Structure 1
Amino acid sequence: MEENYLQTIKTKYFDYGKEEMDYLASLDETLGAAMARMGRVERVIIPDLFTALIYAIVGQLISVKAVRTIWERMQVKFGEISPQNLAMQTADEIQSCGMTMKKAVCINNIAQMIAQGAFNLDELNDLSDTEVINKLMTLNGVGKWTAEMMLINAMERPDVVSWGDIAIRRGMMKLYGLPAITKGQFDEYRLGYSPFGSVASIFLWEISFE
């Protein structure tokens, strides 16, 4: 995410530092060498859980460029990305920003549930990673990848490496020189990054786009 199209909402950088990088480097020389070459990589996050959830849904299965375009349109059309604002819109109005009707219906339904108090996002902060994923997946249109992106890109949970994220898998393959990667290989690396898997993910994302 870039700040230029997120200026109207509060963002910050994922909080990590030398301790996490040194720990990962001590466990994985290949990753350590990449981090030393790249230096600190910033990851913009959206602390507001509702805004981050809608952003993640918009971003499902489309390019980063397309997400930016749709997001800018939504901010121009609706103003603040809040449950109350989006609950007032029709699915057609949300869809007109450039997303699929399926996503628009999901966003509208989720906004209404939260605005009416039928789903409390704030409760997520007291749950474990697995519990957060399970609770979010009760929402129509939210799968495991979307929930895992929430853990990293909103909640700053420290140990998330998503198998469902194509860019993370691609970054891992490039880092270790693998022509392909199995779930077993992925999990071996993921467990090796613990308890700072999210920091590894930040670097794997960057590597995937190099």
Structure 2
Amino acid sequence: MSFTPLLHHAEATAHLSRDPVMREVMARVGELGVLTPTPDPFGTLIRSVTGQQLSVKAAASIHARLVEHLGEVSPETLLRSEGEALRGVGLSWAKVRTVKAIAEAAQTGAVDFDHLATLPDEEIIAELTPLHGIGRWTVEMFLMFALARPDVFSMGDLALRQGLARLHPHLQSYEVMELWQPYRTLAARYIWADNARVKGGGEPVGSL
């Protein structure tokens, strides 16, 4: 599934501007950067998992210590590393189990990370959610920020659900989704950014 990120970003911006409510949000927030697909889906998913539920600064610090400890973030180095050593760089036991599960899936071929980006969104979700500690929300963030998929909107994200209710209180969620398809990823990013203007923060912790 190949596309030109800059072209899709421009198309997405134009499409979302047709919704007067979203157009106001976009005017308040300003231009958002263009997302581009990662060249390393495996390493990016590991980084996303290690950074979840942490501040951006804490997530970066732990990932830096992980890289220093492993030398290279790969299935082999993760599986060779003892759990206590991974705990020592700052990972919780839950995250240790998750990164080990991802590494094992990559090493055994249960998940082919080299070809993962060629699959449709729902197939990627089906590939990754059986792994320990990987839920649909995690994969949806991965689709958005690692693979730069243009039409992902996580209904499992509380801030997004609240944003829908705030922006379009008189519409059902499926009606709003129809308005924003096929560029719901950018719509989600604008909702997070608009929330940040009022509450502080930004895009989801762990996003890349």
How would you bin the TM-score normalised by the shorter chain?
Answer: 0.7 to 0.9
* Partner Cα distance (1:44, 1:157) in 2: 9
Choose the corresponding residue for 1:54, options 41, 46, 55.
46
Report deviation, 1:194: 0.3
The normalised TM-score by structure 1 is 0.78
Q: Secondary structure at the match of 2:69?
A: helix
Identity %: 32
Higher alpha-carbon deviation: 71-80 or 150-159: 71-80
**More relative contact order in 1 or in 2 (CA 8 Å, sep 6+)?**
2
Task: Determine the structure 2 residue equivalent to 1:141.
Answer: 133
Q: What runs of 5+ residues in structure 1 fail to find an aligned partner?
A: 1-13
Q: Secondary structure at the match of 1:162?
A: coil
* Partner Cα distance (2:82, 2:174) in 1: 41
Q: Secondary structure at the match of 2:147?
A: coil
Task: Determine the structure 2 residue equivalent to 1:5.
Answer: none
Choose the corresponding residue for 1:198, options 177, 180, 185.
185
Q: Tell me: CA distance 1:194–1:44, structure 2 relative to 1, closer, same or farther (3 Å).
A: closer
Q: Secondary structure at the match of 1:199?
A: helix
Q: Secondary structure at the match of 2:17?
A: helix
AA matched with 2:11: E
AA matched with 2:184: G
Q: Secondary structure at the match of 1:76?
A: helix
1:42 is aligned to 2:33? yes
Q: Is the 8 A contact 1:89 1:108 kept in 2?
A: no
1:164 is aligned to 2:151? no
Q: What runs of 5+ residues in structure 2 fail to find an aligned partner?
A: 198-208
Q: Tell me: CA distance 1:43–1:65, structure 2 relative to 1, closer, same or farther (3 Å).
A: farther
Higher alpha-carbon deviation: 93-102 or 122-131: 122-131
Q: Secondary structure at the match of 1:209?
A: helix
Q: Is the 8 A contact 1:59 1:67 kept in 2?
A: yes
Q: Secondary structure at the match of 1:122?
A: coil
* Partner Cα distance (1:132, 1:162) in 2: 15
Choose the corresponding residue for 1:98, options 85, 90, 93.
90
Report deviation, 1:171: 4.3
TM superposition outliers: structure 1 runs of 4+ over 6 Å: none
- Once the two structures are superposed, the pairs formed by residues 52-201 of structure 1 within 5 Å of their partners are 52-172=44-164, 176=167, 185-201=172-188
1:209 is aligned to 2:201? no
Report deviation, 1:116: 3.7
